[in-house]
A = this chain, B = another copy of it.
Amino acid sequence: MIISMSPGATAEDIASVVDTVTARGCEAYVSQGVSRTIIALSGAVEQIGSLDLRGVAEVRRVSAPYKLVSREGHAERSTVWVGPVPIGPGTVTLIAGPCAVESPQQTLEAAQMARAAGAVLLRGGAFKPRTSPYAFQGLGEAGLKILAEVGAETGMPVVTEVVDARDVDLVASYADMLQVGARNTQNFTLLRAVGRSGRPVLLKRGMSGTIEDWLLSAEYIAQQGNLRVVLCERGIRTFETATRNTLDISAVPVAQRLSHLPVLVDPSHSGGHRDLVLPLSRAAIAVGADGIIVDVHPRPSQALCDGAQALVHDDLRELAETVTAFAPLVNRIPAISPLTLTGHAARVPVGA
């Protein structure tokens, strides 16, 4: 059950609703939607009865197992803002950057490539969850520092993965958006922690996660009061070995029909090959994704992580053209950012 508060509801109104439903045997989870507060109830919802309280706009049963992220109780699709950058139904937001932060120089070059291609958010991994313990595990806080500096230098808010609930505050002190990776999609401890951080969250789909599993993971974040969740399809595991994963392109419209949250596509990790990134990016925009997130690297052959799928210079020009050309066909504009538009002079010397 979802209670939608009216836009003008006050904190007292909300508190009063929570008190009332709690007294009737329910648990209440308050979350801030795009334009209004919504409250999910669990427990003895059948005993709620009528709720004739100030500020209550609508009470609705939600048949889906996820409540706060469901479109049943929140019909308009949400836009999540990362600083001045929107991710939502009117735009195609391009996020790009190196898979892993390796050095100030490599990160800056990658960021400049990303920005030249129209990216408005910078991605880059400092904590890398790797299948093998002998693989490069990321630079940790040093990487976060580099990323934040390069983001400031190039005028792009940064998104980076967090893999440990204990690191959420640390990562949030450097990053504008927190990413939860495919291997942690059911790390519920981590989901709750990023939920409490208040930062926008990029939630990747698990390798074997159904769309329902994925939305329930988003609900874990939302339950902590944080509805600034962006879903990201990145391929699922199937029997096909010609691609790294199988991009489930249908998951985009399905998730958008079931949930009000924005949905991105990661064509780099799904395909796993450079020459698939552009066609899959076109498919993603065409199918209605709210944006894409891609790997770039100035020298892929030397990359410490996933070089085979990183875009290089010419690819990026083509990617920029793709976004520009395809977005209007799905009634969107490429997301732009005041920060990158103004050239945004560097405040912090990178690698100092």
Specify which chain B residues have a CB less than 8 angstroms from the CB of A211 in the assembled complex: 240, 242
A276 partner, pick from B237, B243, B253, B276, beta carbons under 8 A: B253
Contact A212 B283 (CB under 8 A): no
Interface residues of A in 251-306 (CB under 8 A from B): 251-254, 257, 270-271, 275-276, 279-280, 282-288
A210 partner, pick from B65, B241, B279, beta carbons under 8 A: B241
Specify which chain B residues have a CB less than 8 angstroms from the CB of A336 in the assembled complex: none
Contact A187 B184 (CB under 8 A): yes
A194 interface residue (CB < 8 Å to B): no
Specify which chain B residues have a CB less than 8 angstroms from the CB of A271 in the assembled complex: 250
Specify which chain B residues have a CB less than 8 angstroms from the CB of A131 in the assembled complex: 186, 213, 216
Specify which chain B residues have a CB less than 8 angstroms from the CB of A253 in the assembled complex: 275-276, 279-280
A164 to B186, CA, bound (A): 12
Specify which chain B residues have a CB less than 8 angstroms from the CB of A326 in the assembled complex: 286, 329
> A254 and B283 in contact (CB under 8 A), knowing A189-B163, A325-B329?
no
Specify which chain B residues have a CB less than 8 angstroms from the CB of A275 in the assembled complex: 253, 257
> A249 and B247 in contact (CB under 8 A), knowing A240-B210, A275-B257, A287-B283?
yes
Contact B242 A246 (CB under 8 A): no
A130 CB, nearest partner CB in chain B, Å:
7
A47 interface residue (CB < 8 Å to B): no
Contact A279 B252 (CB under 8 A): yes
Contact B132 A216 (CB under 8 A): yes
A152 interface residue (CB < 8 Å to B): no
A329 to B183, CA, bound (A): 36
Specify which chain B residues have a CB less than 8 angstroms from the CB of A216 in the assembled complex: 131-133
A318 interface residue (CB < 8 Å to B): no
A209 CB, nearest partner CB in chain B, Å:
8
Contact A237 B250 (CB under 8 A): no
A287 to B253, CA, bound (A): 16
Q: Mark A312-340, 1 if CB is under 8 A from B, else 0.
A: 00000000000001100110000000000
A344 CB, nearest partner CB in chain B, Å:
31
Contact B242 A254 (CB under 8 A): yes
A104 interface residue (CB < 8 Å to B): no
Specify which chain B residues have a CB less than 8 angstroms from the CB of A188 in the assembled complex: 129-130, 133, 163, 183
A219 interface residue (CB < 8 Å to B): yes
Q: Mark A185-211, 1 if CB is under 8 A from B, else 0.
A: 011111000000000000000111011
Contact B164 A189 (CB under 8 A): yes
Specify which chain B residues have a CB less than 8 angstroms from the CB of A250 in the assembled complex: 242-243, 246-247, 270-271, 276, 279-280
A165 to B132, CA, bound (A): 19
Sample 28 A-B pairs with CB under 8 A, ordered by A number. A65-B132, A65-B134, A67-B134, A133-B216, A164-B165, A183-B187, A206-B208, A210-B241, A210-B242, A236-B238, A237-B237, A237-B239, A238-B239, A240-B251, A243-B254, A247-B249, A250-B270, A250-B271, A250-B276, A250-B279, A252-B279, A253-B276, A253-B279, A257-B275, A279-B288, A280-B287, A282-B288, A282-B330
